[in-house]
């Protein structure tokens, strides 16, 4: 009896073949790279809401008690930090895999400085968003320091969330 099995090489639990196939598809048909992502947010009363994306369980959002919420979930600015950290983690896994680097452990700490004056309506001409975001990446790997520097530069240079936060992006908010 003959059994046909496909063995997919994986490093860091990333399917190398799938990544290579996607890159080849984009090279062959550049229009495939133009994607649109969607989310739907539903208000649940007070400062609580939930984000719905594709067929996944909703992601809750709330404000801390000190900001008038009921502290049942991370707030939007914390979720923004999490989105950046998650995007960087994907970048490290994908790029390390492409470079043949095995990751033993990866942890990303993020913090941001936000002045509440504008959010609270006390300075209408100020900045309601982060003034600065700091990220510290703890990456454990047997790769050389030079390879890890190359990896880090690739990740920072290709992070969609990092690039979005690092430049002015037109945002159009319409009231339907």
CA distances from 140 to 41, 101, 102, 153, 164 (A): 37, 11, 9, 16, 27
pLDDT of residue 3: 52
pTM greater than the 0.85 cutoff: yes
Q: What is the pLDDT of residues 69-128, one digit of tens each?
A: 999 999 999 999 999 999 999 999 999 999 999 999 999 999 999 999 999 999 999 999
pLDDT of residue 70: 98
Under the banding of pLDDT at 50, 70 and 90, the label for residue 7 is very low
């Amino acid at each position: 009896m003959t059994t046909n099995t496909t063995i997919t090489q994986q490093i860091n639990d990333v399917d190398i073949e799938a990544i290579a196939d996607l890159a080849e598809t984009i090279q062959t048909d550049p229009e495939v790279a133009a994607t649109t992502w969607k989310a739907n947010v539903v208000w649940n009363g007070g400062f609580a809401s939930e984000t719905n994306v594709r067929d996944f369980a909703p992601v809750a959002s709330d404000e801390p008690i000190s900001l008038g919420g009921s502290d049942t979930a991370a707030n939007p600015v914390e979720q923004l930090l999490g989105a950046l950290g998650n995007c960087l983690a994907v970048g490290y896994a994908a790029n390390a895999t492409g470079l043949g680097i095995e990751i033993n452990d990866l942890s990303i700490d993020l913090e941001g400085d936000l002045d509440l004056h504008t959010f609270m309506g006390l300075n209408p001409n100020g900045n309601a968003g982060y003034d600065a975001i700091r990220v510290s990446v703890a990456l454990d790997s047997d790769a050389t320091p030079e390879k890890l520097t190359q990896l880090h530069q690739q990740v920072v240079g290709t992070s969609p969330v990092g690039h979005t936060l690092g430049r002015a992006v037109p945002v159009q908010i319409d009231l339907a």
